[in-house]
Chains A and B, each alone.
Chain A
Amino acid sequence: DAGVTQSPTHLIKTRGQQVTLRCSPKSGHDTVSWYQQALGQGPQFIFQYYEEEERQRGNFPDRFSGHQFPNYSSELNVNALLLGDSALYLCASQPQGVGNTIYFGEGSWLTVV
Chain B
Amino acid sequence: DAKTTQPPSMDCAEGRAANLPCNHSTISGNEYVYWYRQIHSQGPQYIIHGLKNNETNEMASLIITEDRKSSTLILPHATLRDTAVYYCIVRVDNTNAGKSTFGDGTTLTVKP
Contact residues of A with B, CB < 8 Å? 4, 31-33, 35, 40-45, 48, 50, 55-56, 58, 88, 90, 92, 94, 96-107, 109
- A98, B96: Cα distance in complex, Å: 9
The reply to whether A31 and B46 form a contact with Cβ atoms under 8 Å apart is no
Q: Which residues of A contact B99 (CB under 8 A)?
A: 33, 45, 48, 56, 58
- A7, B41: Cα distance in complex, Å: 15
For the complex with contacts A35-B102, A107-B43, 15 further pairs of A-B residues with Cβ separation under 8 Å are A4-B43, A33-B98, A50-B96, A50-B98, A55-B98, A56-B98, A92-B98, A98-B94, A98-B95, A102-B98, A102-B100, A104-B36, A104-B43, A106-B43, A107-B42
Q: Which of B45, B49, B87, B98 contacts A94 (CB 8 A)?
A: B98
The reply to whether A96 and B95 form a contact with Cβ atoms under 8 Å apart is yes
The reply to whether A43 and B44 form a contact with Cβ atoms under 8 Å apart is yes
Q: Which of B44, B46, B96 contacts A55 (CB 8 A)?
A: B96
Which secondary structure dominates where chain B touches chain A? loop
Q: Which of B43, B46, B49, B104 contacts A105 (CB 8 A)?
A: B43
- A109, B42: Cα distance in complex, Å: 10
Q: Which residues of A contact B98 (CB under 8 A)?
A: 31-33, 45, 48, 50, 55-56, 92, 94, 102
B65 interface hit (Cβ, 8 Å)? no
Which size class do B's interface residues fall under? 20 to 34
- 5 smallest beta-carbon distances between A and B, as pairs: A42-B102, A48-B98, A104-B43, A33-B98, A106-B43
B93 interface hit (Cβ, 8 Å)? yes
The reply to whether A42 and B87 form a contact with Cβ atoms under 8 Å apart is yes
Q: Which residues of B contact A35 (CB under 8 A)?
A: 102
Q: Which residues of B contact A99 (CB under 8 A)?
A: 93
Q: Which residues of B contact A88 (CB under 8 A)?
A: 41
Assuming the A-B contacts A42-B102, A43-B102, A45-B100, are A103 and B46 also in contact, with contact meaning beta carbons closer than 8 angstroms in the complex? yes
